[in-house]
A and B are shown apart, each in its own frame.
Chain A
Amino acid sequence: MAADRIFGAVMIVLALGYVLSAMNIQTSFMSDPVGPRLFPYLVAGVVTLCSLIMILRPDPNAEWPGPMMVLKIGTALLLLVGYALLIRPLGFIIPTVVVSAALSYMISPRPVPAALAGLGLGVGLFVLFKVILGLGLVAFPRGWF
């Protein structure tokens, strides 16, 4: 119940922000009868309506993860964001080995298989994508070799 209501409330706030932002869209001299603002208004209207329905008639609650699981999902999120930031400066192999080993450990907490999975994926995927498929990946940070 609560989850649907919270989501609905958040979406109403977002829809309001969306409308405010849409009001600031500039129109140019070569416009049409509808203009660039109407469609966003319609979209925000639908979102608001659906949010109200979700708040007034919420579905039974889904099972929500406990604090440990939230921590775990949060860690996974951080890992993925970190990976997105580091793959350019550090090259492909090092971040891939570290992040895939960490993800592997989160799914099945055994250090040795996880480390092996990380190593295998880091090197294996690099060979597959760079050598066989010819994608433009860089193996290591610039200036190492």
Chain B
Amino acid sequence: MDILSNLALGFSIALSPWTLMLALIGCFVGTIIGALPGLGPSNGVALLIPISFSMGLDAISALVLLTSVYYGAMYGGRISSILLNIPGDEPAMMTTLDGYPMAKQGRAGDALVISGVASFYGALLATIGLMFLAPMLSRVAFQFGPAEYFALYMLAFCTLGGVGSNNQAKAAMAAAIGLGIAMIGLDKTTGMPRFTFGELHLMDGIDFLVAIVGLFAVAEVFHFIESHGKNSAIGVKLGKITIPWRDLKTTQGAMARGTGIGFVAGILPGAGASLGSFLAYMAEKSVSKNRANFGKGAPEGVAAPEAGNNAAAGGALIPMLTLGVPGSGTTAVLLALLLTLNITPGPLLFTEQPDVVWSLIAALLIANVMLLILNVPMVKVFVKILSVPSWVLLPGVTMVAFVGIYSLTGSSFDMMLMVAFGLLGWICRKLDIPTVPIILGILLGNAMEDNLRRAMVLSNGDWTYLFQSGISIGLWTAAVLGFVAPMFLRRVLKKPPIPATESYDRD
């Protein structure tokens, strides 16, 4: 009964008033971030890392605050999907398919409640799954040597690039750009500067937070200016919120299936919440008795993807915590958070800092209950916030990005670097080059090189050492499959289009 005693330890830390308050603030802010179109879990968390770091929060507090934001954003994304027909963040895309038609039929309140409960269901079960699976996986991870870690990083890049993009060459290019940027700075083994061009600011390398905030938040600003900041008014009526017990009962199955699919998708490196909600929706569409109604406002079509996306959010934490390999853009950002806090994820985290892991898990369980309360009875508060016009929101986001980097590094050079990354992010978006592999490359580049070099030291320069153990052969195979298979699957699995909105007003 290790888990119970560990959980008790976690709750003993997480139940302090200070941590509870942070979790509540995190949930609230996270839901807002998720709900606002253009701000999602990854750029929201990215914006908040430098700020929470400059506030001098200790590791556990910062972790509780930002993972609450992460879970909250997963909940919040559905609000604008349902009311505006604009996904508040990428994983909430599938929720628009049935959520918006439901809202048009005057059932906006029902859709919000069903999706809120589905989110709770998915996130809760996934957190419990995390509790059991993560310690098990961390025991397997103890057998990983440098060769296995190198293969694991390859797997992360391959599946992330393969699954998350439309063009393999562009995904690989993005990963290589990130890895190349990570090389800048002093080489750890020899202590020699690389690619610094005599610039003192570059000796320490490029701070990954600068890159993340630039690529995720500042790029969004350029994109918004270009798209004229199309605002969509809330075109549907939201009456009194009542709980549709009957629908909640009939969607039980959809929620359970969505949770299972989402959880597995979340654990796989590179897949993440977007794929989780997509697969959950498609699977539900093919097994549901109500399948004729899908796309026309079926409650199952709201419940399955929401359960899937929140379960994936929990599942994605497993490889991130036990192996240090993030499965998605947002967990990449959370990995950046851990590294900033000087917490090295990996199997040792569970044995050496159990207080960090278990208070995080306890905080996630608490945050989930808070989020259910915030997102079902109090959802109207967030609907009000959705009406913040983009001409206030966007300058605000920009300034928050600057304040974060400024108070973290205090250097104009880093702020200009952030703007440059913003421009790069905008160009990549235009060219359909995914930016998440760039981030992952910057985050993992040094560890990846380090493991390669250590493997070569162990084997005295024999390259076949990389493919010798059973684990590494398995990882390499999975990497190749993860990179190549989506090329063929892409033709089979096409994303259904978002339903048309009639009320676009140009602001």
* CB-defined contacts of A121 to chain B, threshold 8 Å: 392, 395-396, 399
A74-98 at interface with B (beta carbon < 8 Å): 76-77, 80-81, 83-85, 87-88, 92, 96
In the complex, A121 Cα to B388 Cα: how many Å?
13
Q: Do residues B192 and A113 form an inter-chain contact, with CB atoms below 8 A?
A: no
In the complex, A113 Cα to B167 Cα: how many Å?
42
In the complex, A11 Cα to B174 Cα: how many Å?
11
In the complex, A113 Cα to B229 Cα: how many Å?
15
Q: Do residues A133 and B394 form an inter-chain contact, with CB atoms below 8 A?
A: no
In the complex, A107 Cα to B453 Cα: how many Å?
49
Q: Does A9 interact with chain B (Cβ within 8 Å)?
A: no
Q: Do residues A125 and B226 form an inter-chain contact, with CB atoms below 8 A?
A: no
* CB-defined contacts of B432 to chain A, threshold 8 Å: 59, 62
Q: Do residues B226 and A69 form an inter-chain contact, with CB atoms below 8 A?
A: yes
Nearest CB in chain B: distance from A86 CB, A: 9
Q: Do residues A39 and B395 form an inter-chain contact, with CB atoms below 8 A?
A: no
In the complex, A57 Cα to B168 Cα: how many Å?
12
Q: Do residues A125 and B170 form an inter-chain contact, with CB atoms below 8 A?
A: no
In the complex, A30 Cα to B453 Cα: how many Å?
13
Interface string of B387-407 (1 = CB under 8 A from A): 001111011101110110011
* CB-defined contacts of A135 to chain B, threshold 8 Å: 51, 54-55, 403, 407
Asked if A76 meets B395 with Cβ closer than 8 Å, knowing A28-B192, A50-B170, A133-B51, the reply is: no
* CB-defined contacts of A21 to chain B, threshold 8 Å: 194-195, 197
Q: Do residues A33 and B195 form an inter-chain contact, with CB atoms below 8 A?
A: no
* CB-defined contacts of A88 to chain B, threshold 8 Å: 412
Q: Does A139 interact with chain B (Cβ within 8 Å)?
A: no
Q: Does B423 interact with chain A (Cβ within 8 Å)?
A: yes
Asked if A33 meets B456 with Cβ closer than 8 Å, knowing A3-B430, A26-B192, the reply is: yes
Partner of A100 from the list B192, B225, B396 (CB cut-off 8 Å) is B396
Name B191's closest neighbour in chain A (CB-CB): A28
* CB-defined contacts of A129 to chain B, threshold 8 Å: 51, 403, 407
Q: Does B190 interact with chain A (Cβ within 8 Å)?
A: yes
Q: Does B449 interact with chain A (Cβ within 8 Å)?
A: yes
Asked if A36 meets B391 with Cβ closer than 8 Å, knowing A18-B180, A77-B423, A125-B396, the reply is: no
Q: Does B204 interact with chain A (Cβ within 8 Å)?
A: no
Partner of B173 from the list A35, A54, A62 (CB cut-off 8 Å) is A54
* CB-defined contacts of A39 to chain B, threshold 8 Å: 179, 183, 448-449, 452-453
Q: Do residues B395 and A134 form an inter-chain contact, with CB atoms below 8 A?
A: no
In the complex, A4 Cα to B418 Cα: how many Å?
24
Q: Do residues A47 and B180 form an inter-chain contact, with CB atoms below 8 A?
A: yes
* CB-defined contacts of A33 to chain B, threshold 8 Å: 453, 456-457, 460-461
Q: Do residues A76 and B170 form an inter-chain contact, with CB atoms below 8 A?
A: no
Q: Do residues A107 and B228 form an inter-chain contact, with CB atoms below 8 A?
A: yes
In the complex, A99 Cα to B431 Cα: how many Å?
28
Q: Do residues A108 and B457 form an inter-chain contact, with CB atoms below 8 A?
A: no
In the complex, A75 Cα to B507 Cα: how many Å?
21
* CB-defined contacts of B179 to chain A, threshold 8 Å: 39, 43
Partner of A114 from the list B175, B391, B400, B415 (CB cut-off 8 Å) is B391
Q: Does B7 interact with chain A (Cβ within 8 Å)?
A: no
Q: Do residues B189 and A31 form an inter-chain contact, with CB atoms below 8 A?
A: yes
B207-241 at interface with A (beta carbon < 8 Å): 218, 221-222, 224-226, 228-229
Q: Do residues B170 and A54 form an inter-chain contact, with CB atoms below 8 A?
A: yes
Partner of B176 from the list A36, A47, A80, A134 (CB cut-off 8 Å) is A47
Q: Does B416 interact with chain A (Cβ within 8 Å)?
A: yes
Q: Do residues A113 and B391 form an inter-chain contact, with CB atoms below 8 A?
A: yes
Asked if A84 meets B192 with Cβ closer than 8 Å, knowing A7-B431, A76-B221, A107-B390, the reply is: no
Interface string of A45-81 (1 = CB under 8 A from B): 0110111011001010010110001001100110011
In the complex, A67 Cα to B295 Cα: how many Å?
40
Name B427's closest neighbour in chain A (CB-CB): A7
Partner of A32 from the list B54, B406, B416, B457 (CB cut-off 8 Å) is B457
* CB-defined contacts of A114 to chain B, threshold 8 Å: 391
Q: Does B442 interact with chain A (Cβ within 8 Å)?
A: no
Name A21's closest neighbour in chain B (CB-CB): B195
Interface string of B410-451 (1 = CB under 8 A from A): 001001101100110011001111000000000000001100
Name B175's closest neighbour in chain A (CB-CB): A46
Q: Do residues A40 and B183 form an inter-chain contact, with CB atoms below 8 A?
A: yes
* CB-defined contacts of B59 to chain A, threshold 8 Å: none
In the complex, A104 Cα to B175 Cα: how many Å?
34
What are 29 A-B contacts defined by CB distance under 8 Å?
A: A25-B187, A28-B191, A34-B461, A39-B179, A39-B448, A39-B452, A40-B195, A43-B176, A46-B176, A47-B177, A49-B172, A50-B170, A54-B170, A54-B173, A59-B170, A59-B431, A59-B432, A77-B222, A80-B221, A81-B416, A88-B412, A99-B399, A100-B395, A107-B224, A108-B391, A108-B507, A117-B392, A125-B400, A137-B406
| Residue positions of B touching A, CB distance < 8 A | 51, 54-55, 166-167, 169-170, 172-173, 175-177, 179-180, 183, 187, 189-195, 197, 218, 221-222, 224-226, 228-229, 389-392, 394-396, 398-400, 402-403, 406-407, 412, 415-416, 418-419, 422-423, 426-427, 430-433, 448-449, 452-453, 456-457, 460-461, 507
Closest 3 CB pairs of A and B: A100-B395, A84-B415, A50-B173
